[in-house]
Structure 1
């Protein structure tokens, strides 16, 4: 099975003179995006790489490769097996498992952003979800416990993003980093280290609004496989970076909720833990999909995320089987 390559790598396979490679690349791009199995979206991510400045005039798309088909089929099988294994647990065992997963997910999604969490304090919050307490991570605990119940996460308008953000990250964002626009940030940010910029998201709230309106439309469409839709929505949210702080935690929460809806709650409540084990691959996949030379192709990003979901499921199946 030939390995699918993004355009910035594929160009080296072309048996053409350097000055004619652009013709071959355009021909390959048109073949990919016009294939009847390709998922072409109404989304236009902000593309940036330090040596390649620019934005996207091309829609985000993913090629339905054989690897993606196989991973998606494996995810469906694993989800069914997890549902069967969960049903074999007693009510007490199931409750204990869910609370353990919620604690782990919150710890790891924060750890990815280098935010420390006191596990003992968090367990106390998760074990007392009814009482609304003004405590660290109480919002995250309530939200992730809702994921365990597969409560639908409805996002129909821009305000819904802000309402979820305020609840999920209650008491977690410092005053200086709260949104400075009406709903989102309204100032420039850069992603990277003090020495290197890896991404520059939309600069103003007006630009952010335009992108997120399209994301809402895409997320609510019925024509795309819900697992692919969850992954692409996750990519677009992180690419847009609508808040000054907390984007990663927010985006992974929405991903967890969407996977719980389309698959099962144990898969949804394992995703951040697994991402933390593959964090370099996770960020590299973002960077590769954001290169202008790859023409907004998200194929390998989707493929990498599917592999992470599979690994999370296999880890959970092994745990429950034992």
Structure 2
């Protein structure tokens, strides 16, 4: 089936006939969600038709999810935690990149470390990081009310919204807002006034949470479009919406699938913005197939990137494990030396940071910090470990040793 906007350009004389045919299709999904395209007085009901192509995309997501689960299932604890921290750092960095927020992956990783070490001073992105960490390590409550959406927005955008974009309404913005291109051409106006924003956000939540035959991942794709259409905040809509997507993806799939969306979108922002613009147009007549298919493609691409990286990292770790296992010098010492090095190899390959601290290492080995420091100093003398800094001292496995 050709997407409606493409059909319009290719067969303009037959558009009405084709639209009627789609509306009368036996498998059409007509939604209780409406839009009014920019500079138009037409109210359009959103709909999509489940095609074989779309269902194949859903199946691909399922297959990739199973493979991700299989690749990560038997990872040792150090590798697993390092991997989780790395994908959160990637996701936050990418979601900031999409929105034009200046941050570095190093800064995000440092903030995450401070949170885990219970530093009393709240670092930058504190609320945002805590929210994503909860997806990995806690039970999450899915949003049900408009206030839940405002709470998520507060956490995801805390301290990162300019004063001029602060929300002055009870839950959402009071004034109108325009979405513009890089050349400042207005392409969309968010829903207005406040009561209508509330109404449409609640309609969106009802759609997401209702039990029906529509595949959840398709509902997530639709919700992402509709949240962008409503545009309930002056700034931070994309970050908030992508986090909500992660919450719902986490209910259906592996955590790695749930937290790989922003990175994929960041790799093709041009397409990301284009699918919103196309779906908003009058000539598209409320059809969601194009947006759904492209959005599912973003999920798949995020999964594929992680799958390839995991395969490489697992191969590298296995290589390092064999070197550690059969090293003649280490075989003369007790097994704790090997344990320490294997943990450091996991962090080296799976973490955003190659270096680690005594405090971090002590979580994985049954040694006091004093004994751990002693063993590390011996491994430094053997040139198996490299040390950097003093307070705190940081350690990493020697690349010459494992490579």
Q: TM-score, normalised by structure 1?
A: 0.90
Shift of 1:150: 6.8
Match of 1:192 in 2: 180
**1: CA distance between counterparts of 2:307 and 2:150?**
35
Query: Is there any run of 5+ residues in structure 1 with no aligned partner, and where?
Result: none
More moved, 183-192 vs 54-63: 54-63
**2: CA distance between counterparts of 1:127 and 1:135?**
10
Match of 1:206 in 2: 195
Q: Is residue 100 of structure 1 aligned with residue 86 of structure 2?
A: yes
Secondary structure at the aligned position of 1:186 is classed as coil
Shift of 1:59: 1.5
Q: Is residue 168 of structure 1 aligned with residue 156 of structure 2?
A: yes
**1: CA distance between counterparts of 2:192 and 2:185?**
18
Shift of 1:56: 4.6
More moved, 192-201 vs 162-171: 192-201
Match of 1:286 in 2: 276
Q: In the TM superposition, what whole-angstrom CA distance separates every residue of 1:76-99 from its partner, at most 9, and x where no partner exists?
A: 111011111110211111100000
**2: CA distance between counterparts of 1:82 and 1:260?**
13
CA 115–12 in structure 1, closer or farther in 2 if over 3 Å, else same: closer
Corresponding residue to 2:211 among 202, 210, 222: 222
Q: TM-score, normalised by structure 2?
A: 0.73
**Higher relative contact order (CA closer than 8 Å, sequence separation 6+):** 1
Corresponding residue to 1:112 among 94, 98, 103: 98
Secondary structure at the aligned position of 1:60 is classed as strand
CA contact (8 A) 1:55 1:292 kept: no
Shift of 1:13: 4.2
**2: CA distance between counterparts of 1:257 and 1:217?**
16
Shift of 1:147: 2.0
Q: In the TM superposition, what whole-angstrom CA distance separates every residue of 1:123-180 from its partner, at most 9, and x where no partner exists?
A: 1221243536432211111111122237334211111111111122221113321111
More moved, 148-157 vs 260-269: 148-157
Q: In the TM superposition, what whole-angstrom CA distance separates every residue of 1:81-118 from its partner, at most 9, and x where no partner exists?
A: 11111102111111000000001110110101111113
CA 110–55 in structure 1, closer or farther in 2 if over 3 Å, else same: farther
Match of 2:293 in 1: 303
Shift of 1:11: 3.1
CA contact (8 A) 2:36 2:44 kept: no
Which protein is bigger by CA-based radius of gyration? 2
CA contact (8 A) 2:115 2:122 kept: no
**2: CA distance between counterparts of 1:86 and 1:117?**
28
CA contact (8 A) 1:147 1:257 kept: yes
Give the root-mean-square deviation of aligned CA atoms: 1.8
Q: Is residue 242 of structure 1 aligned with residue 200 of structure 2?
A: no
**2: CA distance between counterparts of 1:162 and 1:55?**
29
Secondary structure at the aligned position of 1:274 is classed as helix
Q: Is residue 10 of structure 1 aligned with residue 7 of structure 2?
A: yes
